[in-house]
Structure 1
Amino acid sequence: MTLLLDDAAVRAGFDWNLAVSALREAYAGAADNARYPARGMARGDHGWLRTLSGIPANDGLMGAKQIAVSLKDARGAFLINLFDQVTARLVALLDGRSVTGYRTAATSALAADLLSAPGPLDVAVIGSGFEAKNHVRAVAAVRELKTVRVYSPRAESRARFAAELADLATPIQSADSPGVAVGDASLVICAARSHDESPTLHGDWLRPGTTVVSIGSTLPEQREVDTTVIALSDVIIADVVDEVVDDTGDFIASRAAGLEVADRVGALADLVAGRHLGRTSAEQIVLYKSVGSALQDLAVAAMCVRNAERLGLGTRIPDFVVPKGK
């Protein structure tokens, strides 16, 4: 039987702690880059189709996420397929929309936990939407939060952000400007881009010892942090090093400004596996930059499938994709 998980079932079966644990295990065994090839992109007159595929090193479920986007009305659909590595049997099909948001935040939480100094965190969040809320919940699952300060341009959005996170045992404060939000934060989460793609986080606002998480600029035309943030970062950790350094607007702008980052950039897989030291002093400014990857999608999707099976969620249908021999 093949398990089908729509978005409601994915949400019902999701768990932040299990997601971070699944990602930690996946990254610890991710040294073989051939397991996760570069993402593919097909472009047409009316839309585009992106594919991210991979095979985990722990003999877990292999598969792919596909993102289909209509250019006519800017609508998109996300589909994840998971196969058994040994039998090639189709195990599950998932709506990948929520998985995409969850995996980004859970991976950020993993990185923030490893890169932040020990102790409770004072968190600043730039942005108040889906990704911003997910990031606070994800970090709260792995670290104690002392305070959370949120900035977004509209006061009503900040109020809604605080109301929707009221179940967390953490004071959530509204800031009238991003600089005020960042203030004395030990962890800064950037989860929103400006409409004109000007940076929303400036390095002049950061104090020594800050950890920065940047997830909102993944394409050459997008900006989220200014060049000063990158110049001040003693350590930079990327989920996909070549894509972060070569293909994101923040690093393209830094290169144009004459900044060299090669000796400061390390891979998240190396950090998780202990091959990269990460932060080595309490005073360092550390940046984690994410563009997303198939490893993240597949690790979290497989976790959702395991939890859905345990909880009796989803719909089971007879196998309709049957592996064939030669």
Structure 2
Amino acid sequence: MTLFLTDADVRAAFDWADAIAALRSAYAAPPDEARFPPRTMARGDGLWLRTLSGVPGEGGPMGAKLIAASLRHRRASYLIPLFDQESVELTALLDGHSITGFRTAATSALAADLLAPAGPLRVAVIGSGFEAQNHVRALAAIRALSSVTVFSPNPASRTRFTQELADLGMPLNTAESPQAAVDGADLVICAARSRDEQPTLRQVPAGATVVSIGSTLPEQRELATEVIARAQVIVADMVDEVIHDTGDMIAAEKAGVDFAGNVVSLADIVSGRANGRPADPDAIVLYKSVGSATQDLAVAAMCVRRAAELTLGTKLPVTISPVSK
């Protein structure tokens, strides 16, 4: 039977610690680019359909995430089908909306745990929405946070951010500018692009780790070129896409910043094939993410497992039957 999980089912089944553990296992698997090809984007008149697909090497379900979006109407739908690797049966269909936010934040937390200095972290967050809040919750599941300071252009949004995260029981502060937010921070989370696609983060303190998730397409900007130029190590979840398909890196390359030799994959960091933070305590380390099927499938499979344990979801009365070929 095929199990269908609504967005509410996904939220009820989700667990930060389990998600981070699933991602750690997925990224520690031996590298095989054929298993996770680059995402594809079909574009129409104000429409696009993005596909991320993968066949996990550790035997978990294979599948894809489909994102259908209408730019004119500012609407999007997310669908994740999962197939058993042995029987190729359709085992689950999931609303992928919350999984997208959960997997991004959980992967960032995994990267930050490996890249940020040891000990409690002073966190700055640029952005106050769904992704920004998820990142704080994900980080709190894996590291001690001594403080969190948020900047958003809207004061009401900053206040709402602190109210939504009050249950974490940690100091939550607001700042009136990005620079005021990042002063003294060990870890900077960039989770909001400016609407005019001008960089929202222009300076970071020495020794900081920066997590950037808001620039995933060539037309999008989040980080100033000088931030990228200062980074001694740039960790990417999808190296080629981060380098060639994100507006931040495209702008840095056009400005003459030679960063190619500093880029390593997140998989190499997780598996221990490469080192993350340099010995220099003042080094800037950047983790830049565009999202990947590795993340979607690991977190989706975890949600399906927990949903079965918690008797969540709906078993469909019909399904798609495999055929002989």
Short-chain TM bin: over 0.9
Q: d(CA) in 2 for partners of 1:272 and 1:90?
A: 30
Question: Which stretch shows the higher mean deviation, 41-50 or 185-194?
Answer: 41-50
2:121 paired with 1:121: yes
- Mapped contact 1:125–1:148 kept (Cα < 8 A): yes
For the 8 Å contact 1:30–1:56, the answer to whether it is kept is no
Quick one: distance in 2 between partners of 1:270 and 1:102?
A: 22
SS of alignment partner, residue 221 of structure 2: coil
Q: Structure 1 pair 223/46, CA: closer, same or farther in 2 (3 Å)?
A: closer
**1:221-272 CA distances to partner (integer Å, 9 max, x unpaired)?**
1110101111111111000011111111111111111111111000000000
Instruction: Give the superposition deviation at 1:46.
Output: 5.6
Preserved contact between residue 90 and residue 319 of structure 1 (Cα < 8 Å): no
CA-CA distance at 1:169 after TM superposition: 2.1
- How does the TM-score come out when normalised to structure 2? 0.98
SS, match of residue 275 in structure 2:
coil
Shift of the alpha carbon at 1:317?
1.8
Change (3 A) 1:30 1:215: farther
Identity %: 63
Residue of structure 1 in register with 2:222 after alignment? 224
Q: Partner letter of residue 91 of structure 1?
A: T
Spell out, residue by residue over 1:129-181, the C-alpha distance to the aligned partner (whole angstroms, 9 max, x if none).
Answer: 00000000001110000000000011111110000000102110011111110
In the alignment, residue 253 of structure 2 is paired with which amino acid?
Answer: R
Runs of 5+ consecutive residues of structure 2 not aligned to the other structure: none
Query: Are positions 1:144 and 2:147 aligned together?
Result: no
State whether structure 2 residue 281 is matched by structure 1 residue 291: no
Deviation at 1:308, TM superposition (A): 0.5
Distance 1:68 1:280 in 2: 40
- Corresponding letter in the other structure for 1:302: A
Q: Which 10-residue stretch deviates more, 211-220 or 280-289?
A: 280-289
1:207-218 equivalences under 5 Å are: 207-218=205-216
Amino acid at match of 1:82: L
Task: Tell me how far apart the structure 1 counterparts of residues 41 and 192 of structure 2 sit (CA, whole Å).
Answer: 24
In structure 1, give the amino acid aligned to 2:320. V
1:178 match: 178
Task: Report Cα offsets for 1:81-110 as digits up to 9, x if no partner.
Answer: 000000101110000000000010000000
The match for 1:302 is 301
Structure 1 residue 6: Cα displacement: 0.4
Where 1:142 maps in the other structure, the secondary structure is coil
Could you list the runs of 5+ residues in structure 1 that have no partner in the other structure? none
Q: Point out the more displaced range, 310-319 or 148-157.
A: 310-319
CA distance in 1, matches of 2:71, 2:168: 39
Q: 2: distance between equivalents of 1:211 and 1:319?
A: 48
